[in-house]
Chain A
Amino acid sequence: MTTPTILLYPTPMGSSLTKVLDVLGFDWKAVSDTSAAETLEPVTGWSGAIITIDGNPDEAFRIAQWLRSREDANAATLMLVSAEALPELADNTDHFDDFCLTPFHPAELEARLEHMIQRHVDEGNNAIITFGPLSLNIETYQAMVDGRALDLTYMEYELLRYLTAQPGKVFTREILLSEVWGYDYYGGARTVDVHIRRLRSKLGEEHANLIATVRSVGYRLGTADWRA
């Protein structure tokens, strides 16, 4: 995993802020306005932002808003604010995840950042599972193949999610049944075959072979040498 990069606004004056970031092992880049935020953004995207309101509240919120407005916005935003500027926050609660009063206590800022950014990074990385043309969004329960949304029942989705989590691994019908269906289901292991068939039919002819039958064992997503 790449090191998370944090957007800072404005360029930090003291060293206490950057020291906290160093301790946490985060990279950071300072920006002066939204266009700089755009040009300096790392390929993997901003993992988070620390924006100080005092000084130029308008520009501060413009940047926060810009971070939120993007298609795949995934940056957690923390506002640094003095007690005097606190009322500014009340009008813009949609634009940040958390805030911290200045002057801050380094341990508090560290704890908040770690909690907030780590959570965002985790979600950002784990919400989407992909395999070849297949992608599953665990958070929204949506599955796509070649960018086409699949209309799945809950069990079909769960089965696909289970197989996609470990491509190349062979699962027996019994394992799939107990893991995906739970123990108290009518169908028995034969039910797994029925659902695999339905899934293949919904994946369409072109992609039906994404799910391979391993004769007298069970099923697997992709080919056996996928992990090699």
Chain B
Amino acid sequence: MEPQEKYVLRTVEERGVRLVRLWFTDVLGQHKSVAISPAELEKVFEEGLQFDGSSIDGFSRVQESDVLARPDARTFELLPWARDDEPSALIFCNIERLDGSPFAGDPRQVLRRNLQKAHEAGFTFFVAPEIEFFYFTSDDPSNIIPLDTASYFDLTTADVASDLRMTTIHMLEGLSIPVEYSFHEDAPSQHEIDLQYTEALAMADSIMTFRLAVKKVAQERGVHATFMPKPLDGVQGSGMHTHMSLWRDGQNAFYDPDHEYGLSTIAQQFIAGTLRHAREITAVTNQLINSYKRLNDGLEAPRYVSWARNNQSTLVRVPVTKTNKPDATRIEYRSPDPACNPYLAFSLILAAGMKGIEEGYELQEETKINLFDRKEARNAGVDTLPRSLDEALVEMEGSELVREALGEHIFEWFLRNRRAEWADYSRSVTPFELDRYLRQW
């Protein structure tokens, strides 16, 4: 038995844990959980937990439906929201086939494979997302009322939402998810919590825990938290701007003191890779029909495939860092939204960037114009991100890069599943249409 497994078993015993929750994720990034008793844990460490994968979306085909959940003991945490009289703990799992090989339908395995590939080239991938979300008074779609009407950086003692946010942050810290900043965003009842950078696999796990913790804390106060990308008309949607850097031999591989912006060749090639493949990976970084309402609204969200140092309208931004802070050199990829599957989104952004490095892509000129001004952008001939899920899926289908990074199984399932949703949407009559046409025609 591995020492980390021994640690978990002993801690479960010492702390009187009553339930151990084994966590994993389906293809779309929905949280899955199986609870086992501590008595079963040792056996599950040894043999894995067998279950029928076909019961989970995108997991397996009928003929090979049984899979194994293998708890990754390093991810063990006591759950801070469990009741004192019934302490429980969480462990993330890797899903394997019965022969012990990684299961192709498991997004966590997909990310592990892509990280391993980068690792073989000597790189470690660090990410830090800025996650936005809304608080509403209920989850009733016909009655969505923002919890407050406060605005950016507004902090009053009566601000219930700020209190919710602080409670959430304490909970996150207890779950080994340190928070960098948190604040009230532009839109009514929109909040942002920025997580401190960590290695991508741990961060993807953290985002899963984060989404659950935010919803959990809200729910306890009778509030509904949502990561839906664009819940309200006329105000900005929720994004998940993701800061990232590659590290090699303990050094930030994105930093070069001799370059005028401090950007190494590796960083430039990485950015070039993400730009060239941006349209292909957007179906995954923005997987809902609603995601494109955020990208299209022209409010804060990037629309054009371009990069700049300090221009909020570009897809890739290179934040200006303080001098003598090589560690802070990073890029910010701004299209993802918090309803993505973080394992798959990180896999594809990394694959696109690594492709740029492998092939030595040349970085185009920095965009100096304001792309929120559409006319200016059009005149400059800058490529746009897909305008709809449909367009994004067409781009994805033709992408060898995405097919390889996701693996055949998830690639095909994802296209099939998202196409079906698009087909449903295309047939559905929306309130927008009724408003416009019912009386007029």
CB distance from A156 to the nearest CB of B (A): 7
Assembled-state Cα–Cα distance A97/B74 (Å): 36
| Beta-carbon contacts under 8 Å, B166-194 to A | 173-174, 176, 178
A62 part of interface (Cβ distance < 8 Å): no
With A153-B176, A156-B176, A198-B178 known as contacts, the answer to whether A142 contacts B250 (CB < 8 A) is no
Residues of chain A contacted by B6 (CB below 8 angstroms): 141
With A186-B115, A186-B119, A190-B247 known as contacts, the answer to whether A201 contacts B199 (CB < 8 A) is no
Residues of chain B contacted by A189 (CB below 8 angstroms): 250
CB distance from B22 to the nearest CB of A (A): 16
CB distance from A174 to the nearest CB of B (A): 7
CB distance from A72 to the nearest CB of B (A): 15
Residues of chain A contacted by B75 (CB below 8 angstroms): 153
B312 part of interface (Cβ distance < 8 Å): no
Residues of chain A contacted by B4 (CB below 8 angstroms): 154-155
B343 part of interface (Cβ distance < 8 Å): no
Assembled-state Cα–Cα distance A191/B115 (Å): 15
B256 part of interface (Cβ distance < 8 Å): no
Residues of chain A contacted by B7 (CB below 8 angstroms): 141, 154, 157-158
Please determine whether B197 and A194 come into contact, CB atoms closer than 8 angstroms.
yes
Residues of chain B contacted by A156 (CB below 8 angstroms): 176
Please determine whether A190 and B124 come into contact, CB atoms closer than 8 angstroms.
yes
With A149-B15, A153-B76, A154-B7 known as contacts, the answer to whether A186 contacts B201 (CB < 8 A) is yes
CB distance from A193 to the nearest CB of B (A): 9
B126 part of interface (Cβ distance < 8 Å): yes
B73 part of interface (Cβ distance < 8 Å): yes
Assembled-state Cα–Cα distance A187/B76 (Å): 18
A197 part of interface (Cβ distance < 8 Å): yes
Choice from A140, A155, A201, A202 contacting B74 with Cβ under 8 Å: A155
| Beta-carbon contacts under 8 Å, A155-205 to B | 155-158, 173-174, 186-191, 194, 197-198, 201-202
Residues of chain A contacted by B74 (CB below 8 angstroms): 153-155
CB distance from B17 to the nearest CB of A (A): 11
B10 part of interface (Cβ distance < 8 Å): yes
Assembled-state Cα–Cα distance A153/B75 (Å): 7
A151 part of interface (Cβ distance < 8 Å): yes
Please determine whether B250 and A188 come into contact, CB atoms closer than 8 angstroms.
yes
CB distance from B364 to the nearest CB of A (A): 29
Please determine whether A201 and B8 come into contact, CB atoms closer than 8 angstroms.
no
Please determine whether A186 and B199 come into contact, CB atoms closer than 8 angstroms.
yes
CB distance from A91 to the nearest CB of B (A): 29
Choice from B14, B124, B196 contacting A186 with Cβ under 8 Å: B124
Please determine whether B124 and A198 come into contact, CB atoms closer than 8 angstroms.
no
B11 part of interface (Cβ distance < 8 Å): yes
Residue from B3, B178, B249 with most neighbouring chain A CB atoms (10 Å): B178
CB distance from A165 to the nearest CB of B (A): 16
| Beta-carbon contacts under 8 Å, B57-112 to A | 73-78, 80
Please determine whether A201 and B10 come into contact, CB atoms closer than 8 angstroms.
no
Choice from B14, B76, B198 contacting A154 with Cβ under 8 Å: B76
Assembled-state Cα–Cα distance A202/B77 (Å): 12
Assembled-state Cα–Cα distance A105/B427 (Å): 94
Assembled-state Cα–Cα distance A154/B124 (Å): 21
Assembled-state Cα–Cα distance A151/B89 (Å): 10
Residue from B3, B4, B115, B202 with most neighbouring chain A CB atoms (10 Å): B202
Give the interface of B toward A (CB within 8 A): 3-4, 6-8, 10-11, 14-15, 73-78, 80, 115, 119, 124, 126, 173-174, 176, 178, 196-199, 201-202, 247-250
Residues of chain B contacted by A187 (CB below 8 angstroms): 124, 199
Residues of chain B contacted by A191 (CB below 8 angstroms): 124, 198-199
CB distance from A211 to the nearest CB of B (A): 14
Please determine whether A202 and B115 come into contact, CB atoms closer than 8 angstroms.
no
Please determine whether B10 and A141 come into contact, CB atoms closer than 8 angstroms.
yes
CB distance from A199 to the nearest CB of B (A): 9
With A157-B7, A197-B196 known as contacts, the answer to whether A141 contacts B14 (CB < 8 A) is yes
Residues of chain A contacted by B197 (CB below 8 angstroms): 194
In the assembled complex, 21 residue pairs joining A and B whose CB atoms fall closer than 8 Å, in A order, are A141-B11, A142-B15, A151-B77, A151-B174, A153-B75, A153-B76, A153-B176, A154-B3, A154-B74, A158-B3, A158-B7, A173-B250, A187-B124, A187-B199, A188-B248, A188-B250, A190-B199, A191-B198, A191-B199, A194-B197, A197-B196
Residues of chain A contacted by B173 (CB below 8 angstroms): 201-202
Assembled-state Cα–Cα distance A202/B197 (Å): 17
Residues of chain A contacted by B78 (CB below 8 angstroms): 151
CB distance from A10 to the nearest CB of B (A): 38
For the complex of A and B, list the 7 residue pairs with the smallest distance between their C-beta atoms, beginning with the closest: A189-B250, A154-B4, A151-B78, A154-B7, A188-B124, A187-B199, A198-B176
Assembled-state Cα–Cα distance A156/B74 (Å): 10
Residues of chain A contacted by B124 (CB below 8 angstroms): 186-188, 190-191
Residues of chain B contacted by A197 (CB below 8 angstroms): 178, 196
CB distance from A160 to the nearest CB of B (A): 12
CB distance from A104 to the nearest CB of B (A): 37
Residues of chain A contacted by B196 (CB below 8 angstroms): 194, 197
Assembled-state Cα–Cα distance A31/B18 (Å): 44
Assembled-state Cα–Cα distance A187/B10 (Å): 26
Residues of chain A contacted by B250 (CB below 8 angstroms): 173-174, 188-190
Please determine whether A201 and B178 come into contact, CB atoms closer than 8 angstroms.
yes
Assembled-state Cα–Cα distance A127/B126 (Å): 37
Residues of chain B contacted by A202 (CB below 8 angstroms): 173-174, 176
Please determine whether B11 and A142 come into contact, CB atoms closer than 8 angstroms.
yes
Residues of chain A contacted by B178 (CB below 8 angstroms): 197-198, 201
CB distance from A172 to the nearest CB of B (A): 10
The residue of chain B having its C-beta at the shortest distance from the C-beta of A200 within the complex is B178
Assembled-state Cα–Cα distance A153/B175 (Å): 9
CB distance from B271 to the nearest CB of A (A): 20
The residue of chain B having its C-beta at the shortest distance from the C-beta of A151 within the complex is B78
The residue of chain A having its C-beta at the shortest distance from the C-beta of B203 within the complex is A194
Assembled-state Cα–Cα distance A201/B428 (Å): 49
Assembled-state Cα–Cα distance A136/B70 (Å): 29
The residue of chain A having its C-beta at the shortest distance from the C-beta of B77 within the complex is A153
Residues of chain A contacted by B199 (CB below 8 angstroms): 186-187, 190-191, 194
